[in-house]
Amino acid sequence: MTVAVSAEGLSFSYGERQALKGVDFSIEEGRVHGFLGPNGSGKSTLFKILATILPIQGGTANLLGNDLRGDLRALRKRIGVVFQSPALDRKLTLRQNLVYGGHLQGLRGAELNRRVDEMLAIGRLSERAGEKVESLSGGLRRRVELAKGMLHKPDLLLLDEPSTGLDPGARKDLWSFLQSQKNLTVLFTTHLMDEAEVAEELTILHEGEIVAVGTPASLKAEIGDEILEIDAVHPESLAAKIEKSSGLKAQIFGSRLHIQSPKAQDLIAELMREDRQEVDRIAISRPSLEDVFILKTGHRFWEGSEEAK
Amino acid sequence: MGLAVFSLWHREVVRFLTDRSRVFSSVGQPIIFWLLFAGALNQSSFRPGDMSYGEYFFPGTLAMIVLFTAIFSTITVIEDRKEGFLQSVLVSPVPRSAIALGKIMGASTLALGHGLVFFLLAPFAGVPIDLMSGLASFAVLFLIALALTGLGFTLAWVMDSTAGYHGIMMLFLMPMLLLSGAFFPAVGAHPLMAFLMAANPLTYGVAALRYAFYGAGSEATLGLPAQWLCLLVSVAFALVTFSLATWVVLRRSSKVAQ
C-alpha cells in the first residue's frame, strides 16, 4: 500500500497557545480516515495545515508525495477541500458556483460543462442548478460544496466536519457516495462520535496530541470489557471501596463513576447487595468511542470543549 | 493564470449585476452627491474662472465614484477570506498574484461602468466632452481605479474586521478624497492643506482627469501640477498599490487563515 498522507512531529502555535504538539501519523491511499476530537483538540488546525492554508511551523508533512513546505501548486490540483464554513457565493446560482470553482482548478469549456453536469447529477442537484445558493437549504448547500470540491476529480478529499447541517438521510448518502469512490483518499475531521464510526481508520486527538489510532472497531475492542456507569451518592468513597474490594479503577466525573470491567455483572450484583443506598443509577454498556476517549485521556469528551472556550 | 484572472473578474461583475439594489445605489449615490454639492455650492468662490461648481466637481465626482466602488468591492475580502469564496480560492492551484489581479480588474471594471453612467451627465454639468477627451479621461479613470482598488484590497487583506476597515475608510480614505482637489483646489487653501494635497497621490489622478477633459493651458487646469507629472504619479500609484496587494496575498502568515 502507498502512503497518501503522512506527518512527523507536526506542531503549530497561535502565539503562546500550542494547538498541535508534534503529531505523527500516516494514512494509506484509498482510505477514509477520520480525525476525532473535541473543540480545541487541534483537529481544525491540523485540517488547515493539510488543506495548505496554514503554513507549517514545526515538523514535516507530506501529501500525495508532495512536501507541504515545498511548491504547493501541483499538490493543490490533486486535493479537494470542503470547509466547515460555507465557501459558496450565495448571490450566484448553483451552476455559476460550480463553473467558477472549475475555472480555479483549470477546467474549462466542454470538459468543465460535462463535469458540472456530472457532479450536479450525482448530488441530485440538476433540477435546481439555476437557483441562487441563498435559496437552498443547509443540506443542499453542503452537497453543492461537495460537488465543487470533487469537480476536478481530486485524489485526496479533505472534509472539515462534513455532516454539519446535514439530516441523517443526506449524511448517509454522503458517506455511501464517498466510500464508493475508488482510489479516493478521504480525510475528515469531526467532533461527533457517530460520524467517526464511518471512518475506516480513526485518529483521536486531545489537546494537540494523538491519543489513539485504529479502526473504530479495534479501538473499542481494545477496551474489551464492558463499561459500567454508576451515579453515586458519595462517589469518592464508593470509588475507593470498589477499588479496594475488586481492584478495579473507577474514574470519577462529578457524581458519576466510570468503570471498565471484565465482570461487570458480578460487580453490579455486589453493589446491589452491599451498597444499594449508595447508588442512584447504574448502567452497563459495550464500549463506545467516547469510552475509548475517556480511557486514553482521563477526560470526558465534552470537558475538552469547555476547556477550550 | 489567465483563466483564473478572467474567472475572478467575471465573477465580480456578475455578482454585482445580479444584485439589483447594489446597482441602483452605487449609480444613484454619486449622482445625488453631485446634484447636492453643485446646487449648494453654486456661488462658492473656490473655482477657476467662471466655471460653475457643478462643472468643477464633475471630475471630482468621478474620482469619488471610483473610490467608493473600490471600497465596496474590496471590503468583502475581509469576510471572504475567513469563510466564503476566497477560502476555496486559497486552496486551489491558482497563483496568488491572480487572486489580487482578478479582484482588482473586476472592481476596476465596475468602477469604470459606474463612471460611464455618470459621464452621460457631462453635458448638463457643462463639461466639454468629445470622443478624444472621453477616451483620455476614461484611460485616466482606469488608472485611478486600479490604484484605489489595489489600495482597498491591501487594506482589506490585512484587516481583521469590517469595522476596522470602516475606521480606516473614515480616517484615511475619505480625507484622501477630500484633499485630492476633487472638492476644492489647492490654490488658496491653508499652506498645511496645500502641502497635504501635494503629498496625496490621488491629487494627481484628479488633476490628470481635468487635463483629460480640458487639455493643458486651459483656465480649468491652472495651478495644477504639470500634466506629465500627474500621469507619472498616477501610473506609479497604481503600480505600487498593485504590488502591495500581490505582496500581502503572497505572505502565507499564520494570521491569514485564523
pLDDT at B48: 66
Average pLDDT, chain A: 87
SS3 B56: helix
A103 touches chain B (CB under 8 A): yes
pLDDT at A308: 32
Residue in A52, A86, A101 nearest the CB of B83: A86
Q: What angle do CA A284, A298, A15 make, to 5 degrees?
A: 145
Give a three-class secondary structure readout of A236-270: HHHHHHHHHHHCCCEEEECCEEEEEECCHHHHHHH
Q: Choose, out of B10, B92, B249, B252, the residue to mutate when testing the contact with A (most A CBs < 10 Å).
A: B92
Residue A175 in contact with residue A205, Cβ under 8 Å?
A: no
Residue in A83, A96, A106 nearest the CB of B3: A106
Residue in A14, A51, A91 nearest the CB of B258: A14
Three cell numbers written together for A225: 470489557
Distance between CA atoms of A260 and A265, rounded to whole angstroms? 12
Residue B91 in contact with residue A53, Cβ under 8 Å?
A: yes
Q: For residue range B13-32, list pLDDT tens digits in order.
A: 888 888 778 778 877 888 88
Q: For residue range B169-184, list pLDDT tens digits in order.
A: 889 899 999 999 888 8
Nearest chain B residue to A48 by CA distance is B257
pLDDT at A306: 39
A85 touches chain B (CB under 8 A): yes
pLDDT at B245: 93
Residue B107 in contact with residue B70, Cβ under 8 Å?
A: yes
Look at chain B and count its residues.
Answer: 258
Q: Which residues contact B111 (CB under 8 A, 6 or more apart)?
A: B65, B66, B69, B70, B141, B145, B148, B149
Partners of B254 on chain A (C-beta within 8 Å) are: 12, 14, 54-55, 57
Q: What angle do CA A73, A76, A81 make, to 5 degrees?
A: 155
Q: Residue type for B40, please? A: A
Residue in A12, A81, A100 nearest the CB of B91: A81
Distance between CA atoms of B251 and B74, rounded to whole angstroms? 18
Predicted TM-score of the model (pTM): 0.80
**Phi and psi (nearest 5°) for A33?**
-115, 130
pLDDT at A24: 95
A87 to B87: CB separation less than 8 angstroms, yes or no = yes
B14 touches chain A (CB under 8 A): yes
Distance between CA atoms of B145 and B205, rounded to whole angstroms? 10
Nearest chain A residue to B8 by CA distance is A100
Three cell numbers written together for A217: 472497531
Partners of B98 on chain A (C-beta within 8 Å) are: none
CA distances from B211 to B56, B187, B220 (A): 12, 17, 8
Confidence class for position B190, pLDDT limits 50, 70, 90: confident
Partners of A81 on chain B (C-beta within 8 Å) are: 88, 91
C-alpha dihedral sign at A233, A236, A239, A244: negative
Q: Which residues contact B53 (CB under 8 A, 6 or more apart)?
A: B37, B38, B41, B42, B43, B44, B47
B252 touches chain A (CB under 8 A): yes
pLDDT at B78: 85
To the nearest whole angstrom, how far is the Cα of A249 from the nearest Cα of chain B? 41
Q: What would the mean pLDDT of B190-203 be, rounded to a whole number?
A: 91
DSSP result, A75-96:
HHHHEEEE-SS--S-TTSBHHH
Q: What would the mean pLDDT of B126-149 be, rounded to a whole number?
A: 91
pLDDT at A26: 94
Size of interface A-B (CB pairs under 8 A): 82
pLDDT at A305: 41
Residue in A12, A53, A103 nearest the CB of B7: A103
Number of H helices, E strands in chain A: 12, 14
Q: For residue range A29-57, list pLDDT tens digits in order.
A: 999 999 999 888 999 999 999 999 888 99
Q: In what order do the strands lie in the sheet with A17-28?
A: A17-28, A3-14, A58-63, A66-67
pLDDT at B187: 80
Nearest chain B residue to A154 by CA distance is B92
Q: For residue range B32-87, list pLDDT tens digits in order.
A: 888 898 888 877 766 666 788 888 889 999 999 999 888 888 888 887 777 678 88
Partners of A77 on chain B (C-beta within 8 Å) are: 93
Please list the rounded mean pLDDT of every run of 10 residues in chain A (309 residues).
90 91 93 91 92 90 91 91 86 91 91 93 89 87 89 94 81 84 91 88 93 89 83 90 85 87 83 87 86 81 47
pLDDT at A82: 92
pLDDT at A231: 92
pLDDT at B4: 87
Partners of A74 on chain B (C-beta within 8 Å) are: 93
Share of chain B above pLDDT 70, in %: 95
To the nearest whole angstrom, how far is the Cα of B38 from the nearest Cα of chain A? 36
pLDDT at B47: 64
The domains of chain B are located at 2-257
Q: Choose, out of B85, B97, B256, the residue to mutate when testing the contact with A (most A CBs < 10 Å).
A: B85
Three cell numbers written together for A15: 502565539
The total of other beta-carbon atoms located within 10 Å of residue B47's CB is 19
pLDDT at B258: 38
